[in-house]
């Protein structure tokens, strides 16, 4: 079981609660590869009836058909959802259009009072899901610090864009993970620092999913002949094919595991979604 007890998470929760009244709408950013596991259930409790737009980020790394299934799932539950790629800026126009649509009543109310409608948006999501990268794309400047490791944003910051005022918040994770599967999914995608992880364990979990949904990617990338091997044997197979060897010709399983994880995270394996709405 992966444990995670950073003290600043409680502070982040308080910060969100205190600032919600200042904003018109919340952007909840999820990792398109793991929309279930990258969704912190505490966010639902915090934002309650506040208007919301769910953004499936890193859509360039995920399976487009599965993304569409998630969008339909959210729509059935009365929540607007779109897929985006904050790194390249794909989907930015859709974000603006959806925001105006969702906040139509607020805009009308402001105009009726003679106020020029400028919406305020809070950005929420777990660490390393792409919040700061999205803000920089929306604002057209490097206002928000970015990084490919969890925990880059340390405090709240307001950023002006052409259309909205954005409130960035630090990534918020659970005090502890009750569901080991969720912890493993977050570990696979890099939402938890690698130093805290058993890389072999999470690579075995990844292989178990790939065998079911994307066996063709394993066959193509690593020239694997028998996809039905147990996961640990598959990992050794990958190590052998990739030349992950130590003295005496032994297979370096840890290096093979790191190779698999890196190939997944970078998209070299293919467009992969690890979770489906069902």
Name the band, by pLDDT with cuts 50, 70 and 90, for residue 148: very low
pLDDT at site 2: 45
pLDDT at site 66: 98
Tell how far CA 48 is from the center of its chain: 21
Domain residue limits, the chain: 8-168, 199-278
Q: Which residue positions form the known binding site for GTP?
A: 57-60, 85-86, 128-133, 171
The CATH architecture that domain 199-278 belongs to is Orthogonal Bundle (1.10)
Degrees, nearest 5: CA angle 94-152-145? 60
Average pLDDT, stretch 247-275?
A: 95
pLDDT at site 40: 86
For residue 221, give the nearest of 268, 257, 271, 259 by alpha carbon: 268
pLDDT at site 174: 66
For residue 26, give the nearest of 9, 50, 45 by alpha carbon: 50
pLDDT at site 6: 53
Mean pLDDT check: name the lowest of 80-89, 109-118, 213-222: 109-118
Is 58's pLDDT higher than 70?
yes
Which tens digit of pLDDT belongs to each residue from 9-55?
A: 677 788 888 899 999 999 999 999 999 999 988 888 888 889 999 99
Mean pLDDT check: name the lowest of 177-186, 211-220, 247-256: 177-186
Q: Look-up: residue for tokens 């308080």?
A: 14
- Mean pLDDT (the chain) is 88
Q: At the topology level of CATH, where does 8-168 sit?
A: Rossmann fold (3.40.50)
Going by C-beta distance under 8 Å and a sequence separation of 6 or more, which residues neighbour residue 144?
A: 131, 132, 133, 135, 136, 153, 157, 159, 168
Query: What pTM did the predictor assign?
Result: 0.88
Tokens representing residue 204 in the block: 């075995």
Going by C-beta distance under 8 Å and a sequence separation of 6 or more, which residues neighbour residue 78?
A: none
Average pLDDT, stretch 233-246?
A: 94
Is 196's pLDDT higher than 80?
no
pLDDT at site 48: 83
Residue 122 — φ and ψ, nearest 5°?
-100, 135
pLDDT at site 169: 84
Whether residue 191 contacts residue 31, with contact meaning beta carbons closer than 8 Å, is answered with yes
pLDDT at site 115: 86
What's the maximum distance between 2 C-alpha atoms anywhere in the chain?
A: 79
3-state DSSP call for residue 22? Answer: helix
Burial of 147-171, coded b for 16+ CB within 10 Å and e otherwise, reads eeebebbeebbebebeebbbbbbbb
Q: Identify which has the larger pLDDT, 7 or 137.
A: 137
- Cα separation, 139 vs 99, whole angstroms: 15
Q: Which residue positions form the known binding site?
A: 57-60, 85-86, 128-133, 171
Which tens digit of pLDDT belongs to each residue from 261-273?
A: 999 999 999 999 9
């Amino acid at each position: 079981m992966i444990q995670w007890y950073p003290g600043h998470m409680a502070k982040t929760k308080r910060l969100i609660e205190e600032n919600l009244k200042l904003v018109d709408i919340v952007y909840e950013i999820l990792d398109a590869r793991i929309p279930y596991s990258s969704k912190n259930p505490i966010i639902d409790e915090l934002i309650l009836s506040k208007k919301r737009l769910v953004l499936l980020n890193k859509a360039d790394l995920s399976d487009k058909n599965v993304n569409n299934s998630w969008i339909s799932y959210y729509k059935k539950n009365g929540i607007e959802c779109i897929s985006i790629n904050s790194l390249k800026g794909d989907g930015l126009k859709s974000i603006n259009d959806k925001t105006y649509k969702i906040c139509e009543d607020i805009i009308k109310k402001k105009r009726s009072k003679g106020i020029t409608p400028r919406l305020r948006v809070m950005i929420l999501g777990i660490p390393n899901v792409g919040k700061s990268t999205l803000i920089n794309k929306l604002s057209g400047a490097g206002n928000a610090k970015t990084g490919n490791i969890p925990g880059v944003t340390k405090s709240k910051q307001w950023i002006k864009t052409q259309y909205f005022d954005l409130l960035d918040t630090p990534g918020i994770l659970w005090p502890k993970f009750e569901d080991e599967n969720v912890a493993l999914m977050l570990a696979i995608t890099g939402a938890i620092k690698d130093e805290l992880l058993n890389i072999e364990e999470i690579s075995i979990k990844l292989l178990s999913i790939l065998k079911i949904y994307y066996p063709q990617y394993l066959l193509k990338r690593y020239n694997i002949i028998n996809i039905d091997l147990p996961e640990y044997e598959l990992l050794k197979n990958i190590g052998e094919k990739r030349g992950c060897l130590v003295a005496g010709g032994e297979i370096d399983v840890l290096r093979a595991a790191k190779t698999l994880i890196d190939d997944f995270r970078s998209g070299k394996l293919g467009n992969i979604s690890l979770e489906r709405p069902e």
